[in-house]
Amino acid sequence: MFTTSACLPRLRLRPAARADSEYAYFRDRLSDPTLLARAVTLYGRRGEWLAVPVGGVRRGGFVSCPDVVLAVDVRALLMGRGGFPGVRMRWSEDRDTCHTVVWGERAPGVDDDEVLGRFYGYSEDAIAGFVGVLSRAVHSALSTGPVSWSGRVPPALSGGRS
């Protein structure tokens, strides 16, 4: 038997607002922060995610989703929206890793943070800051011996996000 709560949407969409949890993160790092005027926040009982459209130098975007059900909902909400062309899912091969919903051009198939940073429309200062922090973290890890990686991005690498 279906109940009313089973019919409620798991995820909803609203225009992004400055109070949203990821707004300041993107505002401080995007080459063109005016894209946030067209960004949307996907929200539900399990949290909220900011989806920033393509435009200018930003050629692609993505939202990481903790499970398949949420990924399907994110894809459905973004499909057909201006600024989110070619919405598609990228499945994780590992059960412990998030699936992603991506849009825009296909990301370059390189392991180069500067190239990927430019593809996602980050400013040169944000890219240089990330690459510098990453370089210092790797150097520190190599000089202190083996490191246990928990699978979470250290706050220093994510601007406080994990």
Cβ(88)–Cβ(56) below 8 Å: no
Least confident of 35-39, 46-50, 122-126: 46-50
pLDDT at 58 over 70: yes
Residue 137: which domain range?
124-162
The whole-number average pLDDT for the span 122-137 is 81
Pairing, β 47-51 against β 60-65: unpaired
- Report the candidate in 68, 69, 29, 153 with the shortest Cα–Cα distance to residue 50: 29
pLDDT of residue 93: 74
pLDDT at 74 over 70: yes
pLDDT of residue 91: 84
Quick one: 152 and 94 in the same domain?
no
Cβ(103)–Cβ(60) below 8 Å: yes
Quick one: 159 and 79 in the same domain?
no
Quick one: 73 and 140 in the same domain?
no
In whole angstroms, give the CA distance from residue 162 to residue 144: 23
pLDDT at 145 over 60: no
Quick one: 76 and 145 in the same domain?
no
Q: How big is the chain, counted in residues?
A: 162
Quick one: 106 and 130 in the same domain?
no
pLDDT of residue 142: 57
The whole-number average pLDDT for the span 44-58 is 92
Quick one: 80 and 142 in the same domain?
no
Quick one: 101 and 133 in the same domain?
no
pTM of the model: 0.75
Would you tell me how many other CB atoms lie within 10 Å of the CB of residue 81?
15
The whole-number average pLDDT for the span 22-44 is 94
Quick one: 116 and 128 in the same domain?
no
pLDDT of residue 29: 94
pLDDT of residue 35: 97
Quick one: 157 and 109 in the same domain?
no
CA 34, 80, 120, 29: dihedral to nearest 10 degrees? 30
Residue 12 forms beta bridges with which residues?
43
Quick one: 14 and 67 in the same domain?
yes
Q: Please state the domain count of the chain.
A: 2
Residue 90 forms beta bridges with which residues?
100
pLDDT at 55 over 90: yes
In whole angstroms, give the CA distance from residue 119 to residue 95: 27
pLDDT of residue 137: 61
